[in-house]
Amino acid sequence: MKFAMYGSGAAGSVFASYLRKGGADIILIDRYEAHMKKVAEEGMTFTIHLQEGGEYRDITEVLQGFRTYTSAEAAAEAEGKVDVIIYMTKATQLEAAIQDSMPVIGDTTVAVSLINGLGNDDNLFKVFPKERCVVGSGVLGTALPAPAHCVSTPAGGVQMNFGGAVRSEYTDAACAEMLKCYREGGCDAYWRVDDIYKFIWKKVCVNATVNTVCAVLRLKIAEVEADPWGQMLFHGVIRETCAVATARGIPMDADEFIAHDHADIVTNIGDYYPSMCQDMLFNHRQTEIDVLNGKIAEYGRELGIPTPTCDILTKVVHAIQDNYDKQYLK
């Protein structure tokens, strides 16, 4: 089975590296030319940043065998069609990415979104039948400190969840191969046959909480948690997300989430700037706020559920990312 990773930045490179380490035949497609060129020539330096007994240690290896392209057209010319395409762009780029990827899409290609946020499945369904769509997400910190070098920071426990939007021979075959390669590559992955949307909402709750609050406060996860005001923001997002998810048919208990899921994140990757924080502080990029807190607030308005924390965080993030060039630098 031939995979394509469309969008091979930090998260895409990490997710692809676990697959490759597990034996997958996989190509990378990304416009970051220096990254694609160096991976093709030298391989992918893959670092797993593990926490053991309160200490971190790095396990690094160089993975060979990736074939890389800066466009789907070039990939199709060399590779033909792929069996599975995994989209790992920003959520705001997914619609365009699907259209751009069409040269490598065949009549039986399975489309996979492992992108953070809500509504990514709807974008897949505009082009692909549900019987050829897989959705999911990873519970991993990721970084791309240099071309051809990606870093995974596991959060402890489950690292990847995915499942078919509906079950079919296509989604079952894709999920079975992904499960095999991820597991053999050292990623604690799970094929959620019947309840993938529960895990998508749990990941959204994690990201809307730590990504957004850390980005606005310019702090690492543990630093926010240690501040009583920061912790109140964390808990506010969690309670609003759980209320909205429950109203949409995905029961979530906020107290349980705070005590277990959120506590695990703080314990395992507390010394970490989440991806939105990296986007805003270091790279001055547009963020995924609209498919995280913004989408939660949108659903809340539709359902009559107040979401004041998500509302204000969404506005603050938009104001910051609209004015990167004007912000004070000491």
Which residues does 162 contact at the CB level (< 8 Å), separation at least 6? 112, 114, 134, 135, 136, 137, 175, 178, 189, 190, 191, 192, 196
Instruction: Point out the least confidently predicted range of 123-137, 140-154, 163-177, 287-301.
Output: 140-154
Instruction: Point out the least confidently predicted range of 55-59, 117-121, 283-287, 317-321.
Output: 55-59
Instruction: Point out the least confidently predicted range of 68-82, 87-101, 148-162, 249-263.
Output: 148-162
Mean pLDDT, rounded, for 165-170: 96
Which residues does 82 contact at the CB level (< 8 Å), separation at least 6? 2, 3, 4, 27, 104, 105, 106, 109
pTM summary value: 0.83
Q: Quick one: pLDDT at residue 53?
A: 66
Mean pLDDT of the chain: 94
Q: Quick one: pLDDT at residue 140?
A: 82
Beta bridge partners of 228: none
- pLDDT of residue 157 exceeding 80, the answer is no
Domain range summary for the chain, segments of one domain joined by +: 2-194, 197-320
Mean pLDDT, rounded, for 284-300: 95
Q: Quick one: pLDDT at residue 142?
A: 87
Q: Quick one: pLDDT at residue 300?
A: 97
Contact 71, 33 (CB under 8 A): no
Alpha-carbon gap, residue 58 to 240, rounded angstroms: 36
| pLDDT tens, position by position, 122-156 | 999 999 999 999 999 888 888 899 999 999 988 66
Contact 140, 188 (CB under 8 A): no
Query: Residue by residue, what is the 3-state secondary structure of 134-199?
Result: EEEEECEEEEEEECCEEEEEECCCCCEEEEECCCCHHHHHHHHHHHHHHHHCCCCEEECCCCHHHH
Beta bridge partners of 137: 161
Alpha-carbon gap, residue 267 to 179, rounded angstroms: 27
Q: Which CATH superfamily is domain 2-194 in?
A: NAD(P)-binding Rossmann-like Domain (3.40.50.720)
- pLDDT of residue 54 exceeding 80, the answer is no
Q: Which CATH class is domain 197-320?
A: mainly alpha
| pLDDT tens, position by position, 308-330 | 999 999 999 999 999 999 988 77
